[in-house]
Amino acid sequence: MLSQKTIDIVKSTAPILETHGVEITTYFYKTLFEAHPELLNVFNHANQSQGRQQTALANTVYAAAMYIDQLEVLLPTVKQIAQKHRSLTVKPEHYPIVGEYLLKAIKGVLGDAATDEIIGAWGEAYGVIAQVFIDIEKEMYAEAAEKSGGWEDFKEFIVEKKVTESSLITSFYLKAKDGVPVPWYLPGQYITIRLSIPGHQYLLNRQYSLSQTPGSDCFRISVKREADYNPQGKVSNYLHDRLNVGDTIEVSPPAGDFYLEKEEQPVALISGGVGITPMMAMLGSIAENEPNRKTVFIHAARNKDAHAFGKEAAALVEKLNDGKMYIAYEAKKDESEVCDITGYVSQAFLQQVVDPNSVCYVCGPVPFMRAVVSHLTALGFSENNVKYEFFGPALALEA
């Protein structure tokens, strides 16, 4: 247990960490990877280059400082991060390494302001926080391994089928190389794939939502080719261009805390772009297990060419006794493209088609989620009834 003096020191430094958080975490990752390049296998290099990982860690460190005497407040966030850690096989032996370089980063950025007393207090606090993660992740590893068909870390899977879903998205059907059927997962969860790409010294990993109803003998992931920004997605482009039927990749067990919950209340599945992937698993699960549940499926795409799973989603909605599907295209290429909205999903439209008693699941690019969550909040939906998923490190939705 931390002393009151340690708690006071850590909380008093929170404003400093809020101001210098990204600078500290950027320093941290740089020095960590220089000393331990093997840990590059664990991190998403694109998130590093875009600054997303640094920002997410800075937010977490700041929150830890603010609530060091009330860590139970952070438990939902801790569990979300722990899901990511488990899927990436972060282990207890990694935590002392991270702690060492985080403290060095605080000292390196703050200089003389980071006194021995402050560094000592943060060292104690980090030990407590790290143990919380270690304990939760131990339970998650055991749960993944003990499931029927489950395992603990990574194992080999073979690409059984590769299907083009749109101009941007391709699906990969993955079967375990040992022939064991895949474990049951919750609709909306993801897996981590790990592979070696020619020209890269270290293994690369990425997390992709499972895009079909649980219960199959294989996994399906549906990957968007990331080509809009520099650097372009190394893994997504490799998967699209180079990974073929019969090839082998490594996969960790399903993880994630964004998933469909079986409830009496109506449900709205609202997605943008590749955010449709977890929604397909959710929609399929509703069609199979809860066909009487009132459901609205809303999807926004750039245009018809970029619209994935159109026929599959429509077929699933047809199985529902009270289901509606609405499609939004940012811009039509021509008048032959049929959709319900041209432009963006508006607050007025959501008010018109979403039952006010619904639980809403939202997934897509951050600007899309920011807009939709803002609209739903303005319409009176409670925080508990608006659930959303980030692809990559979680960032604040506030502008």
Query: What are the average pLDDT values for consecutive 10-residue runs of the chain, which has 399 residues?
Result: 88 83 86 86 61 70 82 84 90 92 91 91 89 93 94 96 96 96 96 89 88 94 81 83 96 95 92 96 96 97 94 97 96 81 94 96 93 96 90 49
CB of 281 closer than 8 Å to CB of 212: yes
Choosing from 251, 281, 305, the residue where a domain stops is 251
Domain boundary, last residue among 104, 122, 146 = 146
Q: Has 206 been labeled as part of a binding site?
A: yes
Scanning the structure block, which residue is given the tokens 């600054």? 51
Q: What does the alpha-carbon distance between residue 241 and residue 301 come to, in Å, rounded to a whole number? A: 23
Q: pLDDT at position 52, please?
A: 61
Catalogue the active-site residues.
Answer: 95, 137
For residue 125, with 0-12 CB atoms within 10 Å meaning exposed, 13-18 middle and 19 or more buried, which class applies? buried
Question: Which of 296, 260, 313, 312 minimizes the C-alpha distance to 372?
Answer: 296
- Assess whether 8 and 137 both reside in one domain: yes
Find tokens 């998923």 and name the residue.
Answer: 389
pLDDT of res. 398:
47
Question: Which strands sit side by side in the sheet containing 323-329, from one edge to the other?
Answer: 341-342, 323-329, 295-301, 267-272, 359-363, 386-389
Distance CA 394, CA 376 (A): 20
pLDDT of res. 164: 96
Q: Are residues 385 and 363 in the same domain?
A: yes
Residue 242's Cβ-side half-sphere holds a number of Cα atoms within 13 Å equal to: 11
Residue 257 lies in a domain: no
Q: Which domain holds residue 20?
A: 4-146
Measured between alpha carbons, how far is 69 from 179 in angstroms, rounded to an integer? 48
**Could you give the angle at the alpha carbon of 392 between the alpha carbons of 389 and 396, nearest 5°?**
65
Residue 274 annotated as binding?
yes
Residue with tokens 């590093």: 48
In a domain, 176, yes or no: yes
276 assigned to a ligand binding site: yes
pTM greater than 0.85 (yes/no) = yes
Question: What does the alpha-carbon distance between residue 250 and residue 286 come to, in Å, rounded to a whole number?
Answer: 30
Sole residue written with tokens 């998933």: 259
Q: Is 392 annotated as a binding residue?
A: yes
Is 190 annotated to bind a ligand? Reply is: yes
Instruction: Round to whole Å and give the CA distance between 302 and 276.
Output: 13
Q: Is 293 left (phi over 0), alpha (psi -120 to 50) or beta?
A: beta
How far apart CA 99 and CA 304 sit, in angstroms, is: 48
Is position 98 within any domain? yes
293 DSSP 8-state letter: S
Q: Are residues 166 and 62 in the same domain?
A: no
Contact of 314 with 338, CB cutoff 8 Å: no
204 in the same domain as 172? yes
CATH code of the domain containing 243 = 2.40.30.10
In 3-state terms, what secondary structure has residue 151?
coil
Q: Does residue 327 sit in the same domain as residue 235?
A: no
Tell me: do 137 and 160 sit in the same domain: no
Q: Where are the alpha helices (DSSP H) in the chain?
A: 4-12, 14-35, 45-49, 52-66, 75-87, 94-110, 116-146, 234-241, 276-289, 310-318, 347-353, 366-378
The answer to whether the beta carbons of residues 374 and 396 sit under 8 Å apart is no
Residues 96 and 221 in one domain: no
**Given 191, 217, 251, which residue is the final one in a domain?**
251
The total of other beta-carbon atoms located within 10 Å of residue 42's CB is: 17
Question: How many structural domains is the chain composed of?
Answer: 3
Q: Do 116 and 29 sit in the same domain of this protein? A: yes
Instruction: Provide the pLDDT for residue 48.
Output: 55
Instruction: Say if residue 11 is in the same domain as residue 136.
Output: yes
390 is in an annotated binding site: yes
What is the signed CA dihedral for 283, 286, 287, 289, rounded to 10 degrees? 150
Residue 393 marked ligand-binding: yes
User: What is the rounded CA–CA span in Å between residue 108 and residue 101?
Assistant: 10
52 labeled binding residue: no
209 annotated ligand binder? yes
Tell me whether residue 65 is in a domain: yes
In this structure, are 26 and 112 located in the same domain?
yes
How far apart (Å, rounded) are the C-alpha atoms in residues 212 and 285? Answer: 9
* 185, part of any domain: yes
